[in-house]
Amino acid sequence: MEDKHIQQVCNSVYRQFPEVRGARPSVSSLPGDKFQLIFHGKGETPDGKQINRTVRVTASENGKILKLTTSR
């Protein structure tokens, strides 16, 4: 996956999940010309407690997001 496509996916994720903004994803290859990008960040609850946020993205070779999941 080219850097410009990774950056395209990152920008989409950062818009939807600002708590992972600036986090560089770990990129791994999947079968069928797909890639998995995993972002880690920390968010804050309304009462001030910190929670971890993981965003997992499956994207095509050209940067199109196929699947996006998140966990807290």
- Looking at 3.10.450, 1.10.3470, 1.10.10, 3.90.79, the CATH number of the domain 3-71 comes to 3.10.450
Cβ–Cβ under 8 Å, residues 52 and 46: no
* Per-residue model confidence as pLDDT tens digits over 37-72: 999 999 888 898 999 999 999 999 999 999 999 987
Structure confidence at residue 43 (pLDDT): 84
Cβ–Cβ under 8 Å, residues 39 and 23: yes
pTM of the model: 0.87
* Per-residue model confidence as pLDDT tens digits over 10-38: 999 999 999 999 889 999 999 999 999 99
CA distance 11 to 2: 15
- Report how far apart, in Å, the C-alpha atoms of 14 and of each of 7, 32, 33, 45 are: 10, 26, 24, 18
